[in-house]
Structure 1
């Protein structure tokens, strides 16, 4: 009986520790994503360049491209991500990969025109050598703000 109780207590401790570690990692990725949105708003390509993986891909309403073009678009103001209002965030950790979903309303300047669009944004981060890099950023336009398909 004592062994059974001890076994259950050990199992609970390991489960709690695992949940706490996952929660900490999730919060780390959420904070990194928020920082990324600010760097994009500030056109801070010096901080974005090391964050974006060399093989990263970016999917927009008007096309898709790699790291170099995304950095150039931000730097030139071709797309100015002025403000991302984040309504909802979720993170799934799979090994050394984090998949973050943001439901946002994005205020941006595209081709000189200010636009506001509701999006679900998928961000994929990979952790290598103790550092997170962004592997993919994809925008999916939704019909109404604050609404995600269930």
Structure 2
């Protein structure tokens, strides 16, 4: 009886510490994704297609108000100035990590230049990152225009 009680207590202690370990690692991973997303917005503003090409998965998809396309077209649009992501003002951000996939939601106000015209729009942006070979890659970036302006 005493030995089975020791086994149960040892098991509970093990569960407690492994739960604490996984919880303590999660915020660091979430912060890594948040930081990567912020860097991405800056690279887009700077038209830094080399950094973006390294971040974007080759099979990534991009969904905009005007359509959807893949990585090569997105990089060409940024490089050529078809869409210039001048400034993304981030109001809210959340991250959910599921295994090797991170889903980030940003509520932003985006100042952009589209076809030579400067526009400002409130968006909910979803970003999906996949961890491959120890490195996060952007697999999807989708813009949903909001009917009301983003708030703090």
Matched, 1:123 2:127: yes
In 1, distance between residues paired with 2:148 and 2:119?
Answer: 14
Q: What TM-score do you get using the length of structure 2 for normalisation? A: 0.91
Could you say which structure has the larger radius of gyration?
2
Distance 2:103 2:138 in 1: 10
Question: What's the Cα RMSD here?
Answer: 1.4
TM-score normalised by structure 1 residue count: 0.92
Provide the residue aligned with 1:78 in structure 2.
82
State the alpha-carbon separation in 2 of the partners of residues 16 and 34 from structure 1.
28
Q: Among 52, 58, 62, which residue is 1:58 paired with? A: 62
Query: Partner residue of 1:105?
Result: 109
Quote the Cα distance in structure 2 between the aligned partners of 1:30 and 1:12. 28
5+ long unaligned stretches in structure 2: none
How far did 1:145 drift? Answer: 2.1
SS of 1:143's partner is: coil
Number of aligned pairs? 147
- 1:28 corresponds to which residue? 32
